Homo-oligomer: A and B are copies of this chain.
Amino acid sequence: MKTLIIISHPTIDTSLNQQFFKEASATLPITWHHLEACYPDGKVGLPTELNLLKEHERIIFQFPFYWYSAPAHLKMWQDQVLESAEQYLKGKELGIVLTTGVATKEYQAGGKEEYTISEFLRPYQRIAHKFQMSFLPPFVLSQFMYQTESQRFEKLIAYQQYLSLANKPSLVHRIAWFMERLEQHPAIEQSAGNKQEMIVEMLEEAKETIEDLTFTLQELKGTSS
| Number of copies of this kind of chain in the complex | 2
Choose from B10, B70, B82, B119 the contact partner of A119 (Cβ within 8 Å): B119
- CB contacts under 8 Å to B, within A49-86, are 66-72, 75-76, 78-79, 82
Q: How far is the CB of A82 from chain B (nearest CB, A)?
A: 6
The yes or no answer to A126 lying at the interface (CB within 8 A) is yes
The yes or no answer to A20 lying at the interface (CB within 8 A) is no
**Number of residues of chain A lying within 8 A (CB) of chain B:** 26
Q: How far is the CB of A162 from chain B (nearest CB, A)?
A: 23
Most buried by B among A10, A42, A119: A119
Interface of A with B (CB < 8 Å)?
A: 10, 41-42, 66-72, 75-76, 78-79, 82, 113-115, 119-120, 122-123, 125-127, 129
